[in-house]
A and B are shown apart, each in its own frame.
Chain A
Amino acid sequence: MSALLAVEGLTKTFGGIVALDQCSFEIAPGSLAALIGPNGSGKTTAFNVITGYQPADAGRLSFGGRVVRRPDPCRLQRLGMARTFQQARVFPGLSVLENVVLAHHQPWHALLRRRVSVTDRRRAEDLLGEFGLAAHSHVPAGMLSYGQRKLLEFASVLMGEPTLILLDEPTAGVNPVMVDTIEHHIRRCHGEGVSFLIVEHEMSFVMRLCDPVIVLDRGRPIACGAPQEVQNDRSVLDAYLGD
């Protein structure tokens, strides 16, 4: 079976710092994979390069069985890849509903259609209902609490019906109840066939949710496997405990 996402020899340097060093890994369709590693090991950079936010210095990316030359966020979204950001990002001046409506791919001539069409509104309201945000749908998104913004960012990404979602630290800065909510939504979407690649530092969250777990250290994968295997891996322990 061919991989849903495959990166090969991805390299990215910032001045003297090597953020990604010949990084290669694959994500099979239907996985709920985790990408972990110490701070500064290149996880966010990997997301930025994969989703086309930063150009790689070298390496190859293929998604859905085809090679993506010069990845671009807009095109990748249209191919079915979506992401969230480590620091939740919403459109503060748009209403919560508009934040969700925005995120589905449409042909260019749809620009002439109504700002929020009836069908879009209905779908967005369903999504917001599932995420417990329906009561706020007409409020500017900038008014939401940080946890609510994380939920909104997740919900809006789903509107584009992606096949792969990259979540960057979904539980960071979020209270424990909200963490459970986010876990619930990840499981639910995964049950509906969406694949995930999740960067997360909260180990218990990763261990109970994800398989496989890919461990990155200094821009390079050092281990990949089931949570238990990875947990007992010598090199992983070294990486986390320092040399």
Chain B
Amino acid sequence: MTWLGRESRTRPGGALQAFAFLGALAVLPVVMGRHWQVNLLVFTLMYAGLASAWNLVGGYAGYAALGHGAFFGIGAYAMAIGTTHLGVGTGYRPFLLVLPIAVGTALAVVPIARLLLRTRAATFAVLSITVMFMVQTFAYNIRSLTHGSQGIAVPVPPFPFTTFERPFYYAMAILLALTVAVCWAVRSSQLGLALNAVRDDEDRARGLGVQTELVKLIAFSLSAGLTAAFGAVWAYYISYVFPGFAIDPLLSLGAILMAFLGGRHTLWGPVVGAALIVPAQQYFAYRYGASHLYLIAYAALFLIVIYLLPDGILPSTTQRLNRLRTRSRARTTPDLLPMEALNPRGESE
């Protein structure tokens, strides 16, 4: 069993994983080229990105943010307003707005994030969802900008009919790749270590000199900016924004469920979760009509994940592998950890 020893923990597969992922993203719409297929892919990638972006705050820092729909909506409205009022034009040009929208949102949320992040746990969750409804109320009421409940129609781009979805697919693919890259960079830096420490025991982290306020703020700001970028592309794709639709609590709930299912402490967990849930959801919607029945499935899935896979699919699988490994090693080396070792998160105080 030496070949599975500790040294192999520094995984050589990182670059390989990245290339495989990018390759898959590049060819998918060619292999699955029908309209409904590419449409499904667009939403799958969008949710994979939203779940990954949420994971920066919800998974790495352990802050239960429930209101990311606000930032998605801000991105969507910024795109709609940019293309209609500012005369950016049509075709590929609106895509140029995505980056400024992401950066703008990331900066604009700083003051509100500072207030939000002073609270924790349930208070934070409730406040974050309150912020989302505030943004929705603004969208309904600042008519001069948002046209209120009428919504804004975004001009439909003159892309060829046969490959109409492709530009949106590739925009989502680039954003997803960027989001995963950001997550990877965060995880492998001291920022990620500090965020994980905040997740485990924020007060003790402060006492060890971790600048908890700063690291939480950075994570929140990155997360909000990336979420807004997906909202912007979504608005152009759907070509219509409306407050109840663009700023939707179910959007963040779906993304959170995907992160939980795949594994919120992992890099790829949210992507895996989205790849499983989005197609399933679309299938059910197609089979049983576009009702809200899928919400029951959401609830059921949440319960299953929390009771059976508390850490999600990816960690549970690797944990099982590790346990097998530890067991086989324990047989050869008697002097190992005490039995309580099998509870990886420890008896929490």
Given contacts A111-B189, A143-B341, A160-B208, 4 further A-B contacts (CB under 8 A): A73-B203, A111-B215, A142-B343, A142-B346
A77, closest chain B residue (CB): B209
With a 10 A CB-CB cut-off, give which of B200, B215, B343, B348 has the most chain A CB atoms.
B200
Interface size on A, residues (CB 8 A): 45
A100 to chain B, nearest CB (A): 10
For B338, the closest partner residue in chain A by CB is A145
User: Are A113 and B189 CB-contacts (below 8 A) given A140-B344, A140-B345?
Assistant: yes
A33 within 8 A of B: no
CB interface residues, A 111-159, toward B, < 8 Å? 111-116, 136, 138-145, 156-157
Taking CB atoms, residues of chain B closer than 8 Å to A83 are 207
Q: Is the interface of B mostly helix, strand, loop or mixed?
A: helix
Q: Is the CB of B193 within 8 A of A102?
A: yes
- Give B192-229 interface residues, CB cut-off 8 Å to A: 192-194, 196-197, 199-201, 203-212, 214-215, 218
Binds B, one of A4-12, A57-65, A90-98, A200-208: A90-98
The answer to whether A108 has its CB under 8 Å from any CB of chain B is yes
- Is A114 touching B189 in the complex (CB atoms < 8 A)? yes
Task: Say yes or no for A237: interface residue by CB 8 A criterion.
Answer: no
> Is A111 a contact of B209 with CB atoms below 8 Å?
no
Per the bound structure, the CA–CA distance linking A210 and B160 in Å amounts to 83
Decide if A175 is an interface residue (CB 8 Å cutoff). no
Flag whether B191 is at the interface (Cβ < 8 A).
yes
Q: Does A156 lie within 8 Å of B207, measured CB to CB? A: no
Residue among A83, A105, A143, A145 with most chain B CB within 10 A: A143
A87 at the binding interface (Cβ < 8 Å): yes
Chain B residues whose CB sits within 8 angstroms of the CB of A85 once the complex forms: 204
Known: A102-B193, A110-B190, A113-B190. A92 touches B207 (CB 8 A): no
Q: Does A74 contact B (CB under 8 A)?
A: yes
B345 contacts A114, C-beta separation under 8 Å: no
- Judge whether B344 and A74 touch: CB under 8 Å: no
With A51-B207, A111-B215 already in contact, the answer to whether A138 and B194 are too (CB < 8 A) is: no
Q: Which residues of chain B come closer than 8 Å to A141, judged between CB atoms?
A: 346
A-B contact pairs, 22 of them (CB 8 A): A73-B206, A74-B207, A77-B206, A77-B208, A91-B201, A92-B346, A92-B348, A93-B200, A94-B193, A94-B197, A102-B208, A103-B208, A103-B209, A105-B209, A111-B191, A111-B214, A111-B218, A112-B190, A114-B189, A140-B345, A143-B337, A160-B208
B196 adjacent to A53 (CB under 8 Å): no
